[in-house]
Amino acid sequence: MAIRRVLVANRGEIAVRIIRACRDVGIETVAVFSEADRDTLATQLADKAVCIGPVQAKHSYLNADALLVTALHTGCDALHPGYGFLAENAEFADECARNGIQFIGPRGDTMRGLGDKLPARETAERLGIPVVPGGTLDGSAASAGAVLKQIGLPLLVKASAGGGGRGLRRVDDSADLAGALAQSAAEADAAFGNPTLYVERYIERGRHIEVQIVGDRYGNVIHLFERDCTTQRRYQKLVEEAPSPVLDDAARKAITDSACRLARGMGYEGAGTVEFLFDLDTGEHYFIEMNTRLQVEHPVSELLTGLDLVRLQLLVASGEPLPVSQDEVTMSGHVIEFRVNCEDPGNGFLPAAGTVRRWRPPAGPWVRLDTHMEQGQAVPPYYDSLLAKLIVWGDTREQALERSRRCLAEFAVDGVPTTLPFHSWLVAQPDFIFSNLHTTWVDGNWKGARRP
Amino acid sequence: MPDMPPELRTISTAELAQIVRAFADSDLRELRLVVGDVDLLVSRNEQVDGAAPARPAAPAPAAASAPAPAPMTASAASAPSEASTADGSAPAVDRTGLVPVHSPAVGVFYRRPAPDKPPSVEVGSAVAVGDPVGTLEVMKMFTTVPSVVAGTIAEICVEDATLVEYQQVIMYLSPAAGA
């Protein structure tokens, strides 16, 4: 491989994952760490480790200059950003390129075209990929009538200029529309100085389904099928599985075709994920956004297909063509991943910190655990709360569930709260067992979803 | 955490760094903290008032010294880090009474302010507080590394034009009497 030494610009389990993939193909690694992460698995496993700053992420893991000076002066020819931090920062990708460091991810201009939701939506529409029906309006009742006819009810009114729930309003009855638009426009104007509204069809029962793709610099794109990430709490994914229990072969082909068309249209290089909302009532899929990085839940696709996604990233970043064609990518069995976060699921999933006094992970056939934790390890309060990902494979979904129940019962962690009690409850719920849930199901059914 | 088993009644290096930082930000003159096996004494006083720690393990005499968690980096440098060779790799050297100068950032350390200038200091050079002892470059941005105390340069720990870690010890000073 052309790449010989990689700077791993991340921490925690994903840093460990990247170091291992590099070691497997004979690439050396340089780990970087903040003062909070000196004694961690990634710094121990890497060929070299360099302290780049204090505990605050903005002075360490988000400090582009510190990462670049370290990469340049430790002889690295590539940099893997992992996920989060600078992984989707187009300027940083450009800065790496300018300094002769291969950024392991798509080019900066690709990220710019997909980074903001509105331009991404326009790109998708241009390429003929379905998006949630909707459009912008000025708040007048006249334009509202036309939009309503096009979108149908129920619909969602949003402020074009911002987020955070300001101006967000659901409309079920056409009689309420004019009033809702006026109120939302006033709120949007007050909050963002811009009364422009965006309305779109409200999908009552949706599943979050995303497609893993990888592209090389010769225009080849493959997909590794879908992941179903419907079990989430306020858009935070908790469990991911593949294949999706709600897709038939025709729907699977339609959604993976859409993802590959977008990636080809963008000349996408590297690993990425195209996210869709799948409407359970109509069977239609709608593009939401594209994540231009390796995702937390990538192991689900790895166990489903037998392909190593980080290895593929290293290959295409080295300028090699994809080693497999779409026909050679096959899926087998069923995979479920559980995110073990340092959060209190009984108290609104409030993030916690502390020291892990006991760490007894599960094991056994077809069980994978991606983690950086061990007994006595500190969980610092400064970063993302992910401690481990438990990934379980089964010949069928039923078998994967049986194995998951056994693993979750074996998994013992003391000293800090974790999401394990939530997962143990989830795998016993008929709605999860029979895949009858949708994206807001956890918020309505888990008693600890909100803070008391 | 009173319910902890005895073998775990300790402080992590990260927690230690937080404590030292909190002390640096406070108006306290001296702080002594005993948790399990850890006996930490941090003091701004020249004469340490608190009972001396039983073991010299915590190189607490960061006395007078910087607010940075100095003792940490000196003792807890990660094993695979070549960049840390300055720290603790020469246990035979007695550095009692010496004050370390730490790198304020990760970057390339130069002994000269410019390629055509002589080194800022040599072993034996006398410096006042704030005098430049070297130059740090981070992606074409050059900053001066100042001395934290008045005294003479006792030891220079890093080669010219090499990468230094955040808080790595660059050199040791022998503080002037009364400094």
DSSP string, A267-332: T--EEEEEEEEEETTT--EEEEEEE-S--TTHHHHHHHH---HHHHHHHHHTTPPPSS-GGG----
Please judge whether B73 and A51 are an interchain contact, meaning their C-beta atoms are less than 8 angstroms apart: yes
pLDDT at B34 over 90: no
Cβ partners under 8 Å of residue B48, min gap 6? B30, B41, B61, B63
A126 in any annotated domain: no
Distance separating alpha carbons of residues A202 and A209, to the nearest angstrom: 17
DSSP labels, A331-369 = --SEEEEEEEESEETTTTTEE--EE-SEEE---STTEEE
pLDDT of residue B2: 42
Please judge whether B78 and A51 are an interchain contact, meaning their C-beta atoms are less than 8 angstroms apart: yes
Choice among A127-141, A149-163, A247-261, B45-59 with the minimum mean pLDDT:
B45-59
Interface contact A355, partner B, CB < 8 A: yes
Say which residue the tokens 């241009």 belong to: A126
Interface contact A68, partner B, CB < 8 A: yes
A109 in any annotated domain: no
Let me know whether A215 and A321 are in one domain: yes
From residue A404, give the alpha-carbon distance in Å to each of A295, A298, B113: 21, 18, 61
Q: Which residues pair with A214 in a beta bridge?
A: A222, A271
Interface contact A62, partner B, CB < 8 A: no
Query: What length does chain B have?
Result: 179
Model confidence over B139-170: pLDDT tens digits?
999 999 999 899 999 999 999 999 999 999 99
A122 in any annotated domain: no
pLDDT at A68 over 90: yes
Please judge whether A65 and B108 are an interchain contact, meaning their C-beta atoms are less than 8 angstroms apart: no
Chain B 87-146, CB below 8 Å of chain A: which residues?
105-108, 137-139, 141
Choice among A59-63, A130-134, A309-313, A405-409 with the minimum mean pLDDT:
A130-134
Please judge whether A39 and B13 are an interchain contact, meaning their C-beta atoms are less than 8 angstroms apart: yes
Amino acid (1-letter code) at residue A123: T
Task: Answer yes or no: are the C-beta atoms of A54 and B166 closer than 8 Å.
Answer: yes
Q: Chain B residues with CB inside 8 Å of A48's CB?
A: 80-83
Let me know whether A142 and A213 are in one domain: no
pLDDT of residue A88: 94
The helix/strand/coil state of A26 is coil
Measured in Å, how far apart are chain B's first and last C-alpha atoms?
40
Distance separating alpha carbons of residues A182 and A209, to the nearest angstrom: 34
Nearest CA to A224 out of A312, A296, A283, A284 is that of A312
Q: Mean of the pLDDT values across residues A164-176?
A: 82
Chain A 16-45, CB below 8 Å of chain B: which residues?
33, 35-39, 43-44
**Structure tokens that stand for A124 in this block:** 């998708």
Q: Chain B residues with CB inside 8 Å of A73's CB?
A: 108, 162-163
From residue B148, give the alpha-carbon distance in Å to each of A52, A189, B64, B99, B103: 21, 53, 9, 8, 11
Alpha carbon of A362: minimum distance to chain B alpha carbons (Å): 23
Q: At how many degrees (to 10) do helices A108-115 and A117-126 cross? A: 100
| Domains defined for chain B, CATH in brackets | 1-77 (no CATH), 95-179 (2.40.50.100)
Read off the pLDDT band of B13 (50, 70, 90).
Answer: low
Q: At how many degrees (to 10) do helices A64-73 and A90-98 cross? A: 30
Please judge whether A50 and B165 are an interchain contact, meaning their C-beta atoms are less than 8 angstroms apart: yes
Say which residue the tokens 């100085």 belong to: A193
Let me know whether A210 and A172 are in one domain: no
- CATH value at residue A229: 3.30.470.20
- Give the gyration radius of chain A's Cα atoms: 22
DSSP A184: H
Prediction ipTM score: 0.86
Let me know whether A234 and A373 are in one domain: yes
A129 in any annotated domain: no
Model confidence over B50-104: pLDDT tens digits?
443 333 333 333 333 333 333 333 333 333 344 444 444 445 678 989 999 999 9
Dihedral sign for Cα atoms in the order A426, A430, A432, A438: negative
The domain boundary residue, chosen from A149, A181, A201: A201
Read off the pLDDT band of A141 (50, 70, 90).
Answer: low
- CATH value at residue A35: 3.40.50.20
Please judge whether A69 and B139 are an interchain contact, meaning their C-beta atoms are less than 8 angstroms apart: yes
Q: Chain B residues with CB inside 8 Å of A69's CB?
A: 106-108, 137-139, 163
Percent of chain A with pLDDT over 90: 79
Cβ partners under 8 Å of residue A445, min gap 6? A429, A431, A437
Backbone angles phi, psi at A159, to 5 degrees: -80, 130
User: Domain limits at A156?
Assistant: 134-201
Pseudo-torsion of CA A106, A108, A113, A118, nearest 10°? 110
Q: Which residue has the higher pLDDT, A181 or A306?
A: A306
Alpha carbon of A36: minimum distance to chain B alpha carbons (Å): 5
The domain boundary residue, chosen from A154, A175, A201: A201
Tell me the average pLDDT of chain A: 94
Please judge whether A39 and B141 are an interchain contact, meaning their C-beta atoms are less than 8 angstroms apart: no
Alpha carbon of A23: minimum distance to chain B alpha carbons (Å): 15
Alpha carbon of B78: minimum distance to chain A alpha carbons (Å): 6
From residue A373, give the alpha-carbon distance in Å to each of A295, A370, A421: 19, 9, 18
DSSP A138: -
pLDDT of residue B44: 72
**Structure tokens that stand for A259 in this block:** 């993802």
A176 in any annotated domain: yes
Q: Which residue has the higher pLDDT, A245 or A199?
A: A245
Let me know whether A285 and A141 are in one domain: no
The domain boundary residue, chosen from A177, A201, A225: A201
Selected residue of A32, A51, A65, A67 to mutate for chain B interface (largest B Cβ count, 10 A): A51
Q: E strands, A15-127, where?
A: 28-34, 48-53, 78-80, 102-103
A348 in any annotated domain: yes
Let me know whether A193 and A326 are in one domain: no
Q: Which of B14, B106, B163 sits opposite A378 (nearest CB)?
A: B14
Interface contact B78, partner A, CB < 8 A: yes
pLDDT of residue A353: 97
DSSP labels, B44-111 = -SSS--SPPPSSTTS----TTS-SS-HHHHHH---TT-GGGTTTTS-TTS--TT-EEEE-SSSEEEES
Chain A 364-423, CB below 8 Å of chain B: which residues?
376, 378, 380
Q: Which residues pair with B136 in a beta bridge?
A: B109, B143
DSSP labels, A209-251 = EEEEEEE-TTS-EEEEEEEEEEEEETTEEEEEEES-TT--HHH
Q: Which residues pair with A388 in a beta bridge?
A: A340, A371
A121 in any annotated domain: no
Please judge whether B168 and A51 are an interchain contact, meaning their C-beta atoms are less than 8 angstroms apart: yes
pLDDT at A167 over 90: no
Tally of domains within chain A? 3
A118 in any annotated domain: no
pLDDT at A415 over 80: yes
Cβ partners under 8 Å of residue B150, min gap 6? B127, B128, B129, B175, B176, B179
Let me know whether A165 and A220 are in one domain: no
Q: Mean of the pLDDT values across residues B106-134?
A: 97
Read off the pLDDT band of A165 (50, 70, 90).
Answer: low
From residue B107, give the alpha-carbon distance in Å to each of A53, A258, A343, B53: 11, 45, 36, 35
Dihedral sign for Cα atoms in the order A30, A34, A35, A39: negative
pLDDT of residue B66: 34
- For B5-37, give the secondary structure using H, E and C: CHHHCCCCHHHHHHHHHHHHHCCCCEEEEEECC
Please judge whether A51 and B166 are an interchain contact, meaning their C-beta atoms are less than 8 angstroms apart: yes
Interface contact A94, partner B, CB < 8 A: no
Let me know whether A213 and A298 are in one domain: yes
Model confidence over A268-316: pLDDT tens digits?
999 999 999 999 999 999 999 999 999 999 999 999 999 999 999 999 9
Residues of A designated catalytic: 293
Let me know whether A211 and A169 are in one domain: no
The helix/strand/coil state of B141 is strand
Alpha carbon of B13: minimum distance to chain A alpha carbons (Å): 8
pLDDT of residue A277: 95
**Structure tokens that stand for B9 in this block:** 């009644």
pLDDT at A377 over 90: yes
Cβ partners under 8 Å of residue A174, min gap 6? A148, A153
**Structure tokens that stand for A190 in this block:** 């007050």
Model confidence over A3-53: pLDDT tens digits?
999 999 999 999 999 999 999 999 999 999 999 999 999 999 999 999 999
Chain A 160-199, CB below 8 Å of chain B: which residues?
none
Q: Which residue has the higher pLDDT, A234 or A390?
A: A390
Let me know whether A170 and A277 are in one domain: no
pLDDT of residue A315: 98
The helix/strand/coil state of A140 is coil
Measured in Å, how far apart are chain A's first and last C-alpha atoms?
54
Let me know whether A155 and A292 are in one domain: no
Let me know whether A141 and A259 are in one domain: no
Read off the pLDDT band of B1 (50, 70, 90).
Answer: very low
The helix/strand/coil state of A374 is coil
Choice among A212-216, A355-359, A380-384, B174-178 with the minimum mean pLDDT:
B174-178
Secondary element (H or E) of residue B42: strand B38-43
pLDDT at A247 over 50: yes
pLDDT at A130 over 60: yes
pLDDT of residue B10: 62
